[in-house]
Structure 1
Amino acid sequence: MTETSAIAAGEPQLPSLAQATRVWLKIGLLSFGGPAGQIALMHKELVEERRWIGEQRFLHALNYCMLLPGPEAQQLAVYIGWLMHRTLGGLIAGLLFILPGALVMLGLSTLYVLYRQAPLVEGLFFGVKAAVLAVVIEAGIRISRRALKNRAMVAVAVAAFVAIALLRLPFPLIILGAGLVGWVGQRLRPELFGAAAGHGAAGPDQDGLVDRILAQGGMDHTRPSAARALRTSAIWLPLWLGPVLALMLVTGTDSVWSQIGGFFSLMAVVTFGGAYAVLAYVAQAAVETYGWLRAGEMLDGLGLAETTPGPLILVLQFVGFLAGFRAPGTLPPLLAGGLGAALTLWTTFAPCFFWIFLGAPYVEALRGNRAISAALGAITAAVVGVIMNLALWFGLHVVFREVRRVEIMGLTPDWPVLASLDWRAALLCAFALVAMLRFRLGMAKTLAASALAGLALLQLA
Structure 2
Amino acid sequence: MDSSRTGAAGQPVAQASLRQALLFWLKLGFISFGGPAGQIALMHEELVTRRRWLSERRFLHALNYCMLLPGPEAQQLATYLGWLLHRTWGGVAAGLLFIVPSLLLLILLAWAYLVFGQVPLVAGLFYAIKPAVVVVVFQAAWRIGGRVLRNRWLWAIAALAFAAIFFLRVPFPLIVLGAALAGALGALWCPAAFSNDSSETVAAAAAPALIDDNTPTPEHARFSRLRLARLILLGAVLWCLPMLVLTAAVGWDGTLTQMAWFFTKAALLTFGGAYAVLPYVYQGAVVQFGWLSPLQMIDGLALGESTPGPLIMVVAFVAFVGGYLGQVLGPDQLLAGGVLAALLVCWFTFLPSFLFVLGGAPLIEATRGELGFSAPLTAVSAAVVGVILNLALFFAWHVFMPQGHGPDWLALGLAAVAAVLVFWRGWTALQTLLLCGAAGLLLGWAGWLP
Task: Give your verdict on TM over 0.5.
Answer: yes
CA contact (8 A) 1:200 1:367 kept: no
The amino acid that maps onto 2:433 is L
> How far, CA to CA, are the matches of 1:356 and 1:202 in structure 2?
23
**1:127 matched to which residue of 2?**
128
Q: Does 1:159 align with 2:166?
A: no
2:309 counterpart SS class? coil
> How far, CA to CA, are the matches of 1:355 and 1:106 in structure 2?
26
CA contact (8 A) 2:161 2:383 kept: yes
The amino acid that maps onto 2:108 is G
> How far, CA to CA, are the matches of 1:275 and 1:48 in structure 2?
27
**1:363 matched to which residue of 2?**
364
**1:425 matched to which residue of 2?**
411
Unaligned runs of 5+ in 2: none
1:449 counterpart SS class? helix
CA contact (8 A) 2:32 2:39 kept: yes
Q: Does 1:345 align with 2:331?
A: no
Identity within the alignment, %: 47
Tell which deviates more after alignment, 60-69 or 10-19.
10-19
Deviation at 1:433, TM superposition (A): 1.6
**1:412 matched to which residue of 2?**
none
CA contact (8 A) 1:153 1:381 kept: yes
> How far, CA to CA, are the matches of 2:360 and 2:123 in structure 1?
45
CA contact (8 A) 1:126 1:455 kept: no
> How far, CA to CA, are the matches of 2:217 and 2:408 in structure 1?
63
Matches within 5 A, 1:191-230: 191-194=192-195, 196-197=196-197, 207-211=208-212, 215=215, 217=216, 219-230=218-229
CA contact (8 A) 1:132 1:299 kept: yes
Unaligned runs of 5+ in 1: 403-416
The amino acid that maps onto 2:428 is G
Q: Does 1:19 align with 2:20?
A: yes
Deviation at 1:454, TM superposition (A): 3.6
**1:315 matched to which residue of 2?**
314
Matches within 5 A, 1:11-160: 15-160=16-161
**1:405 matched to which residue of 2?**
none
The amino acid that maps onto 1:191 is A
> How far, CA to CA, are the matches of 1:201 and 1:457 in structure 2?
49
**1:413 matched to which residue of 2?**
none
The amino acid that maps onto 1:6 is T
Matches within 5 A, 1:442-461: 442-456=428-442, 459-460=447-448
Q: 1:244-266 CA distances to partner (integer Å, 9 max, x unpaired)?
A: 23212321111110111010010
> How far, CA to CA, are the matches of 2:100 and 2:180 in structure 1?
32
Deviation at 1:5, TM superposition (A): 5.8
> How far, CA to CA, are the matches of 1:452 and 1:96 in structure 2?
30
TM-score, with structure 2 as normaliser: 0.92
CA contact (8 A) 1:399 1:426 kept: yes
Q: Does 1:394 align with 2:395?
A: yes
> How far, CA to CA, are the matches of 1:255 and 1:288 in structure 2?
17
Q: 1:224-249 CA distances to partner (integer Å, 9 max, x unpaired)?
A: 22221111100112213431232123
Q: 1:407-433 CA distances to partner (integer Å, 9 max, x unpaired)?
A: xxxxxxxxxx4x443222222222222
Indicate how the Cα distance of structure 1 residues 50 and 122 shifts in structure 2: closer, same or farther if over 3 A, else same.
Answer: same
Deviation at 1:200, TM superposition (A): 7.4
CA contact (8 A) 1:153 1:378 kept: yes
Deviation at 1:449, TM superposition (A): 2.3
Matches within 5 A, 1:184-195: 184-194=185-195
CA contact (8 A) 1:307 1:444 kept: yes
1:209 counterpart SS class? coil
**1:299 matched to which residue of 2?**
298
Q: 1:178-210 CA distances to partner (integer Å, 9 max, x unpaired)?
A: 12211221121112112x147579999994212
The amino acid that maps onto 1:444 is L
**2:254 matched to which residue of 1?**
255
Cα RMSD between the aligned structures? 2.5
Indicate how the Cα distance of structure 1 residues 203 and 173 shifts in structure 2: closer, same or farther if over 3 A, else same.
Answer: farther
CA contact (8 A) 1:179 1:378 kept: yes
**1:265 matched to which residue of 2?**
264
CA contact (8 A) 1:4 1:50 kept: no
CA contact (8 A) 1:201 1:368 kept: no
The amino acid that maps onto 2:17 is S
TM-score, with structure 1 as normaliser: 0.90
> How far, CA to CA, are the matches of 2:280 and 2:253 in structure 1?
20
Deviation at 1:330, TM superposition (A): 4.1
Deviation at 1:439, TM superposition (A): 2.5
Deviation at 1:79, TM superposition (A): 0.3
> How far, CA to CA, are the matches of 2:301 and 2:163 in structure 1?
24
Indicate how the Cα distance of structure 1 residues 103 and 384 shifts in structure 2: closer, same or farther if over 3 A, else same.
Answer: same
CA contact (8 A) 2:34 2:428 kept: no
Deviation at 1:140, TM superposition (A): 0.9
Q: 1:125-164 CA distances to partner (integer Å, 9 max, x unpaired)?
A: 0000011111111111011110000000001111111122
- Which runs of structure 1 show a deviation greater than 3 angstroms over 4 or more consecutive aligned residues? 2-14, 197-207, 364-371, 452-461
Indicate how the Cα distance of structure 1 residues 220 and 3 shifts in structure 2: closer, same or farther if over 3 A, else same.
Answer: closer
Indicate how the Cα distance of structure 1 residues 247 and 199 shifts in structure 2: closer, same or farther if over 3 A, else same.
Answer: farther
CA contact (8 A) 2:6 2:208 kept: no
Q: How many residue pairs align between the two structures? A: 442
> How far, CA to CA, are the matches of 1:203 and 1:221 in structure 2?
28
CA contact (8 A) 1:198 1:368 kept: no
> How far, CA to CA, are the matches of 2:107 and 2:245 in structure 1?
24
CA contact (8 A) 1:163 1:174 kept: yes
Q: 1:285-331 CA distances to partner (integer Å, 9 max, x unpaired)?
A: 21111111111111111111111111111111000000100112444
